[in-house]
Structures are given as structure tokens and as C-alpha cells.
Chains A and B, each alone.
Chain A
């Protein structure tokens, strides 16, 4: 079983929709949680990172962490065609020296 499982997608939504992207994990030592966006043929780019449980908002993006359920989410409000990309969750514990990534969810926002 993988340490990090991500909803596989692909996901296709109309412009303006609210998008929910989700990951579950098994390692209770994970404390730092990240979301990356990867456009086709580009490197992943960090969108948001959070520590422990709670919510963090940045513009149209909200990251949510529920450590008790070992579940994290990224919400995108008012989705735009430019949000079309693969979204990767990642997480790590303090001393791991590395982040463990989910497999990614490919999102298409249709105009």
C-alpha cells in the first residue's frame, strides 16, 4: 500500500465550478502538507503548504488538513481554464529529509 493515495481523476469541470482535490495518507508522522501544480511538460510548482491540521487560504485556493482522518484537500473556487493542470499532493515529517508525493490528479476546466 502506498503511503500517499490521491484521487486519480481525471477531473473535468466547467469554468466557475468549485473543485475539490483529495489525498489520504497512512503515515501518522506526516506534519507538513503541500500542494503542487504541474502544467504539461513543466516542473511542479508549489501552490501552498500547511503545517498540521487546519485550513489555509490563498486567493481562490484553500488547503485543508484533517490529521485525525489522515486526509487533505485542496479546494479551487471559481475555477478557470488556466487552472487546467495536474495537481500533486506531497507530505513529510520533520526529519524525513524528503517529501512523499501522491500520483497526481489531472484537472481540466472547460470554458
Chain B
């Protein structure tokens, strides 16, 4: 019954590897997001999709590639992982305008060693 679910919860991997994080929402929302939270709790937008269309692409290295096969799913693929990519990645969803707030997943804690 989880509203926004992400997998995996934890990911430990070596530098240079490629990894993917998956996200699914069952709320019927039109818009999905990826946010990155650093060790100081700052949440920074990475990408946003509305009905499978990319609408926000912040200044994120092109090693990060989102993909939305349908409006209920938003995946994040990361190539050539670097130490600085270590963070918690949150998926979120909202009604189209997002002005009434987001529903977040529980996060994927990525550690690059």
C-alpha cells in the first residue's frame, strides 16, 4: 500500500560502476521528481517529469539519466559513479501543479566507495 516506493533502500558500490534506482507511485499523480539530499539535509531538485515528459533538468552531470516509462514510474540511472555521488536520493510525486506539496518515498542511501 506504499504510496511512493523506491528500490533499493541501500546501495553500496565502487567508483566507476553503473547503478539504477527505481521509483513507483500508486497515487495517480501526474508529476514525479528526483531530489538529492546531502549529509547536511539539503534537498536539491535533480529532475521532474510530468506525464512522462521531462520538465525540469537541473545542472546535473549527464552521468545521471532519468527515464519515465509511464506516469507512475520514474527511474534514475547513474553511470561511472563517483565518491561525490554518495547521498540519499528521494523520489517524490505530486498532482500536476505541485502547489499542495509532494509525497516522498523513503529514499535510497547511495554510498560510493
Which residues of A are interface residues toward B (Cβ below 8 A)? Answer: 31-32, 34, 36, 38, 41-46, 49, 51, 86, 88, 90, 92, 94, 97-101, 103-104, 106
Inter-chain contacts of A36 with B (CB < 8 A): 101, 104
Q: How many A-B residue pairs have CB under 8 A?
A: 62
Binds A, one of B42-50, B60-68, B69-77: B42-50
Q: Which of B56, B90, B100, B106 contacts A98 (CB 8 A)?
A: B56
A103 to B56, CA, bound (A): 21
Contact between B103 and A97, CB atoms less than 8 A apart: no
Count residues of chain B with CB under 8 A from any CB of chain A: 26
Asked, given contacts A42-B107, A43-B107, A44-B104, whether A94 binds B97 with beta carbons under 8 Å apart, the answer is yes
Interchain CB contact under 8 A, A99 and B98: yes
How many angstroms from the CA of A31 to the CA of B103 in the assembled complex?
Answer: 19
In the complex, residue of chain B having the shortest beta-carbon distance to the beta carbon of A35: B101
